[in-house]
Amino acid sequence: MGNLHSGPPMNFRGRVFLAPLTKGGNLPFRRLCLAHGAEVTMGEMAYAYQVKKRSKSELALLRKHPDETCFGAQIAASKPADAIVAGNAAVERGASWVDLNCGCPIHDIVRRGMGATMLQRPTQLGKLVAEMVKGIPVPVSVKIRLGWSEHDQNASEVARVLEESGAAAICVHGRTREQRYSRAADWDAIARIAAERSIPVIGNGDLLTWYETHARWRQSGVASVMLGRGALIKPWLFREIAEKQAWEPTAEQRLAVYHDLAQKMKAHFRDDEKGRERAMRFLPWHFEFFCRYRPLPAAGWEEASRAHPLMQTRFADDEPDLPVLERLLRDPRPELHQRLATLLWEAADPAEAEARALLLAAEMPPVGGQAAEVATAHG
């Protein structure tokens, strides 16, 4: 396969990145984000050693859509030979740059000596990145966390090693491995690392609204920002950030967005039983995040967001006069998400999806007195 990458050199400054989201960053979802203003997308993390073995499922994670004109592939690796093979496989498939995951807290990755484990081995990490830079013809970035635990935060040292090893950029997720998503992201720590380094530092963590994003970006001095769970909840957040104003879609408008995602999955996985089965591994899962959407206008929430990120804020859902469709889309029940995903897959257009959703709402009365959390310590 020839090198599909073409275009100007990768610019890591002044950008809003879609994070490499395990499971959530599938190609149809990335296309949905592109339709709502995203310009820089990243694929799901691929195991380098599996790419080296030519695993079809792992190679699929390196695939980009023609609409993705600025696409980064993320790999997990601990050995230079594996990382270089995987990085070049990504470049052959059109990646503008290759990102090394050194932040993933998941047990399977950590026990294999990859992801966040690399934070505990800065010297080995530096050698790995230096070899990648020599062996891969596009820029290499590295995504890190603040450290292994509250009492073992060495991101400043790791970032220095990475810059000295030739990394083109560093993305810092403002939490430790131990914290997962349970604590608010530490943007003061991200700011310190950005001030210490001459290569671009990308800030990541708890960005849910356009005003929070611009405030963190400005105050921290980072080169760029990266959206993870915020994009999963609001795929249109990219456009809000670019325009510096909120889009507060009605339940009907959101359902049309979700129908669009289902159709993009149909195009990607194919409109047959096997394709449907594959799509249903993803589409109901997305509703775990879609159901957390709440309108958060700057006039009512900007001041509160300075004290505590809205991503980590709990919102009670006991409003008595919520429209039927709005209540349905806020419902956190997994069995309902499965039903919503199915009707979106089957509906010919948004109008049919809406009609079927209203029938579903009548069939499944809401659970009373529930409080939904916009974001939780979800993987």
Half-sphere exposure of 65 (CA within 13 A, CB side): 21
Residues in the chain, total: 379
User: CB–CB of 306/298 below 8 Å?
Assistant: no
DSSP 117: G
Q: For strand 224-227 and strand 41-42, is the pairing parallel, antiparallel, or unpaired?
A: unpaired
Q: Which of 70, 102, 104, 171 is catalytic?
A: 104
Residue 215, both tokens: 């405030």
User: CB–CB of 357/161 below 8 Å?
Assistant: no
Phi, psi (deg, nearest 5) at residue 171: -100, 130
> Known catalytic residue: 104?
yes
Angle at 304 between CA 147 and CA 208, to 5 degrees: 55
- With CA atoms as reference, report the closest residue to 136 among 55, 197, 75, 220: 75
Residue with structure tokens 């790995």? Answer: 128
User: CB–CB of 274/183 below 8 Å?
Assistant: no
Non-local (6+) Cβ contacts of 204 within 8 A are 19, 143, 171, 172, 173, 174, 185, 190, 225, 226, 227, 228
Q: How far apart are CA 339 and CA 103, in angstroms?
A: 34
What is the end-to-end Cα distance of the chain in Å, rounded? 34
Task: Give Cα separations from 4 to 63, 92, 338, 351, 366 (angstroms).
Answer: 11, 6, 37, 39, 49
Coil, strand, or helix at residue 320?
coil
Q: What element of type H or E holds 73?
A: strand 71-76
Residue 219, both tokens: 């105050």
Q: What element of type H or E holds 14?
A: none
Handedness of CA 90, 281, 257, 229 (dihedral sign): negative
DSSP 126: H
- Residues serving a catalytic function are 104
